[in-house]
Structure 1
Amino acid sequence: MRYCFLLFYEAGDFEVMNLTVKLASPALPLCEEWKEGLDGSLFHLANILLFLGFMGGSGFYGLLYLFTFMTLGFFCSILWAWSDPCTTDAFLWNFALFGVCLAQVLYIAYKLRSLTFDKDFEDLYNCMFKRLGVSLTHFGKIVASSDGAVHTLEKGQCFAVEEKTQIDKLSVLLSGRIRVTVKGEFLHYIHPFQFLDSPEWDSLRPSEEGIFQVTLHADNQCRYIAWRRKKLYLLFAKHRYIARIFALIVRNDIAEKLYSLSDKAFDRAGHHFDLRLPSYCHMPEPELERAHDLLEVPIPGERTA
């Protein structure tokens, strides 16, 4: 009898225990409403800044833009993580990324400061090199090879005298105007941001020497930048990209000078001819006269001999 009562009691107790069993709560809490307050705003601001940062472009200024916004974004993430004691790992990661981005900003700012130039060189870069996509780093090497010096010519002073001055440099006019003559005859003007001696430069090989065949004198006060031939060729040997850039701008400068001369080129009869035709510069005088006769255009109604 006692044994049966104990069995009944244990069975009843078991049923009571089954009736009082509660469901286990989920491991992660359910999100019932949006988190409000300063910490939530910082989280959204951090992501907005990161989004804006990744919209940056290339180059030094693009990198400065990118890392500046990333630094601000990770800083806001640090403040957000600091407000919640359960986000220690997130705080540490954001702090590490903030430090890396801040270091990048300081490094890029230092590089940009070291790549700042005087106004003359900035104007030269904007007018001649920037449109060709030359970076500030490469332009810094070009400036360094000129020793960063700007030379001056007073009014009436000669830059070169025909058959006397050695061709030992390449120069670009920054301001003023240069008159080019040959045996006293006017050829053309050289204006700012044109080479003073591009035909002479292109006519010689690196191992050759030569002298000017024209005279260049200043119509007013002029300022120019010059690169020594040997130093510039050493730069070309180290940086083939810079050599190609100079070849392009020098030959383009020569073409512009030829087109300006073409407008003034006439034969003895007053007929205009194009200097883009085969060159007559090195022809003997009798052949040059025959070439002029061939270029003459018959006038309608006029008899030919």
Structure 2
Amino acid sequence: MEPPDFEAMNLTLKPPAFPLCEDWKEDAEGSLFHLAHILLFLGFMGGSGSYGQLYLFTFLSLGFFCSSLWAWSDPCTTDTFLWSFALFAACLAQALYITYKLRSLSFDKDFEDLYNCMFKRLGVSVGHFGKIVASSDGAVHTLEKGQCFAVEGKTAIDRLSVLLSGRISVTVNEEFLHYIYPFQFLDSPEWDSLRPSEEGIFQVTLQADNQCRYIAWRRKKLYLLFAKHRYIARIFALIVRSDIAEKVYSLSDKAFDRAGRRYDLRLPSYCNMPGPELERPHDLLEVPMPREQTA
């Protein structure tokens, strides 16, 4: 048997369609490539809000800048350099714009304290809080000692207010109910009891125990803000109802039945109690026990 004629068969090795990688680059070019993608990875981990966006675009700017330096070192990657540099410029411009907005949103100390105590813990951004401050006209009102914020049966419910300093006592029929302390709403139950189109008057008297300062939002102006920003409407609904719950629990601590046991004001028997029973003055708020059902 004759051996095969390999020359006649013309068996030759063709070069691969794509060049094979012989070794990894260990110089500065490879380091810039890896650094760029590390920065891009960190940038895409940014959160929401103004500070989250600033974090995002800052790291994206650094990542695309390193990618531009890496592409500049290779004369065959001009298109890569141009795209990376364009993205670097866009991200840098966005980061500078967000920084400018954050610096322009500076508040007085009273509003800064209000933001830190009530809105920041809920994740409200500085930009949204700026809209809330603008709807109140940025004004801080003052109550002198003994001055009334609202009078029972006379003052109209036309605003929503937050106490900044001092202490307010709440009374009904000249009987003490509870105190209102800083960073609590003055009129949250009245606000929540009315629809936007309804009108009402206070059923309690709110009087300053000492010099007090507060912020107020007009109903119509605040509802216009809610119509434009549903997120702000949900935030106010949350903090107003949380404030009402705290007031209910503070009343429950002072409610006792005839046997001296603490009574829960949320029970239906208290809500449906006859009017004359409520109007009798007592040292302690006296609540009748539910009647036992007879077979």
Unaligned runs of at least 5 residues, structure 1: 1-22, 299-305
Aligned mate of 1:92, from 82, 87, 96? 82
CA positional deviation for 1:101: 1.3
From the superposition, tell whether residues 283 and 203 of structure 1 become closer, same or farther in structure 2 (CA, over 3 Å). farther
CA positional deviation for 1:71: 0.9
Within-5 A mapping of 1:52-91: 52-91=42-81
Aligned mate of 2:176, from 186, 211, 234? 186
Unaligned runs of at least 5 residues, structure 2: 1-12, 281-285
Question: Quick one: distance in 2 between partners of 1:29 and 1:100?
Answer: 35
Larger radius of gyration: 1
Aligned mate of 2:245, from 236, 249, 255? 255
* Counterpart position of 2:225: 235
CA positional deviation for 1:28: 7.0
Question: Quick one: distance in 2 between partners of 1:293 and 1:141?
Answer: 44
Report percent identity of matched pairs.
Answer: 81
Is the contact between residue 269 and residue 296 of structure 1 (CA under 8 Å) also seen in structure 2?
A: no
Question: Quick one: distance in 1 between partners of 2:177 and 2:291?
Answer: 24
* Counterpart position of 1:207: 197
Task: Calculate the aligned-residue CA RMSD, in Å.
Answer: 3.3
From the superposition, tell whether residues 27 and 192 of structure 1 become closer, same or farther in structure 2 (CA, over 3 Å). same
DSSP 3-state at the match of 2:210: coil
Question: Quick one: distance in 1 between partners of 2:73 and 2:287?
Answer: 93
AA aligned to 1:295 is M
Is the contact between residue 140 and residue 214 of structure 2 (CA under 8 Å) also seen in structure 1?
A: yes
Deviations 1:53-87 (CA, angstroms, capped at 9, x unpaired) = 22322332222212211211221222233233333
* Counterpart position of 1:222: 212
DSSP 3-state at the match of 1:199: helix
Question: Quick one: distance in 1 between partners of 2:92 and 2:153?
Answer: 60
From the superposition, tell whether residues 157 and 61 of structure 1 become closer, same or farther in structure 2 (CA, over 3 Å). same
* Counterpart position of 2:275: 284
Q: What is the TM-score normalised by the length of structure 1?
A: 0.75
From the superposition, tell whether residues 202 and 51 of structure 1 become closer, same or farther in structure 2 (CA, over 3 Å). closer
AA aligned to 2:86 is A
Within-5 A mapping of 1:119-134: 119-134=109-124
* Counterpart position of 2:7: none
Question: Quick one: distance in 2 between partners of 1:180 and 1:120?
Answer: 24
CA positional deviation for 1:253: 1.6
Within-5 A mapping of 1:5-154: 31-154=21-144
AA aligned to 1:91 is F
AA aligned to 1:128 is M
Question: Quick one: distance in 2 between partners of 1:150 and 1:89?
Answer: 57
* Counterpart position of 1:273: 263
DSSP 3-state at the match of 2:195: coil
Is the contact between residue 198 and residue 251 of structure 1 (CA under 8 Å) also seen in structure 2?
A: yes
Deviations 1:79-132 (CA, angstroms, capped at 9, x unpaired) = 233233333222212211111211221232233334443343333233333444
DSSP 3-state at the match of 1:189: strand
CA positional deviation for 1:197: 1.0
Question: Quick one: distance in 2 between partners of 1:244 and 1:295?
Answer: 37
* Counterpart position of 1:198: 188
Question: Quick one: distance in 1 between partners of 2:142 and 2:287?
Answer: 45
DSSP 3-state at the match of 1:43: helix
Is the contact between residue 280 and residue 288 of structure 1 (CA under 8 Å) also seen in structure 2?
A: no
Aligned mate of 2:145, from 138, 152, 155? 155
